[in-house]
Homo-oligomer: A and B are copies of this chain.
Amino acid sequence: MACIVMKFGGTSVADIERIRHVATRVKREVDAGHSVAVVVSAMAGATNQLVENVRSAARLYDLREYDAIVSSGENVTAGLLSVILQDMGVAARSWQGWQIPIVTDEAHGSARILEIRSEELRHRLENGEVAVVAGFQGLEPNRNRITTLGRGGSDTSAVALAAALKADRCDIYTDVDGVYTSDPRIVKGARKLDRVTYEEMLEMASQGAKVLQTRSVEMAMKHHVPVQVRSTFEERPGTLVVDEEEIVEKAVVSGVTYSRDEAKITLRNVPDRPGVAASIFGPLADSAINVDMIVQNISPDTKTTDMTFTVSRSDLDRAVGVLESRRDELGYADLSAEEDVVKVSVIGVGMRSHAGVAQQMFQALASRGINIQVITTSEIKVSVLIEEAFLELALRSLHTAYGLDAT
């Protein structure tokens, strides 16, 4: 008898019929003798509607109230799934974040889980009751106000719960049937991966693959929670996310991802003095603008430097505003901003032991006439910024170049 956490996203619980289908999947695990905790998202569209209501209420709003409002969608799904499970003869009850409680820090709107008091839950699971837990929400340390974990937070709720319960498996049910080598809507030959390492999954999530929330992967890696990404609607097995040691044949590259949420800013002829980077990026950080890729070119002749970096598209206007307001202080000659860029990344733990992966990428792109604007690398990833028009061509070329195409 195993202990299993099952997580169902918004499209999987979009209406009563789909929740009924989810209940049959839960019942099957219960009938197989397993202890089951289920984590649910809000019904598809419900959270967006609530967020829209908050935004039309006020331009600037108290994040504590935002959390109190937007967390209600998950409570509804948890209650409905419990009702349906009971109707099928499966003992079940719903749990809201404060009832367990799932204690988080005070960062309303994007809180981190600190502790899950799982004794009562574990006791009930052992007695055969299914715990249906509202995802995405928690309780701040004073235990009076609701927090939320940020978009996609239900994945994190599920992994954290699996860690607290020392569950044997955490199954993330979604509308795709696993993790793919690339986006199958663009790359025809994209293949579902049977296994992927936590580190690869983490890079894929942060480099644009939307299948799991980044924080949930970090947490799974930290607590060694065996995660499986699989389809709510189809029966076949999904993709296991596991420790590197559990993968015998490590691919050099296991995936090619992309992100369209990129915008490029270039400052030309910035006086090249110590601390110039801090003087540019400090004010951006103060305005809660995340900077991703950064390139600095120094012209020794003019004693100035060109600084190029990327931000998320939704932050571009604000970033430009911050930099223009400090133009005199920063002393740059020219500021340019571009939105028609995308980031393409190749990811694989095999890179650690293989040289030439980046070189292969640059050649594949060059052979198609694709110009690289910015490059960043990590131990298991190479990312390049290119013009958006070349996105599909780049993905297909790289997928083929690294031998990932399905045969």
Using CB atoms and an 8 Å cutoff, list the residues of chain A in contact with chain B.
16, 19-20, 50, 53-54, 56-62, 64-66, 68-69, 72-73, 75-76, 78-80, 82-84, 86-87, 93-94, 96, 98-99, 144-146
Contact = CB atoms under 8 A, between A and B. Distances in A.
Contacts of A94: 65, 68
Given A57-B84, A68-B96, 12 more contacts: A53-B80, A54-B80, A58-B86, A61-B83, A65-B80, A65-B83, A65-B86, A65-B93, A65-B94, A69-B79, A72-B73, A72-B76
A66 B93 CA distance: 11
A138 to B, nearest CB: 14
A16 B78 CA distance: 27
Contacts of A62: 82-83, 86, 93
Contact of A53 (B16, B58, B59, B78): B16
A144 B80 contact: no
Contact of A54 (B58, B79, B145): B79
B16 A56 contact: yes
Nearest to A82: B65
A69 B65 contact: no
A145 to B, nearest CB: 7
A166 B307 CA distance: 65
A69 B80 contact: yes
A65 B83 CA distance: 7
Contacts of A61: 83, 86-87
Contacts of A69: 75-76, 79-80, 83
Contacts of A87: 57-61
A84 B60 CA distance: 10
A66 B50 contact: no
Given A66-B79, A99-B144, A144-B99, A84 B58 contact: yes
A56 B18 CA distance: 12
Contacts of A86: 58, 61-62, 65
Contacts of A144: 99
A20 B86 CA distance: 41
Nearest to A62: B86
Nearest to A80: B57
Nearest to A54: B83
Contacts of A80: 53-54, 57, 65, 69
10 contacts: A19-B57, A53-B80, A57-B80, A60-B87, A61-B86, A62-B93, A64-B93, A65-B94, A69-B79, A69-B83
Contacts of A20: 57
Contact of A72 (B59, B65, B75, B82): B75
A121 to B, nearest CB: 12
Nearest to A120: B144
Nearest to A20: B57
Contacts of A56: 16
- Between A61, A83, A96, the greatest number of chain B beta carbons within 10 A of the residue's beta carbon is seen for A83
A83 B53 CA distance: 10
Given A19-B57, A58-B83, A99-B145, A78 B68 contact: yes
Nearest to A79: B69
A16 B86 CA distance: 36
Contacts of A96: 68, 146
A300 to B, nearest CB: 53
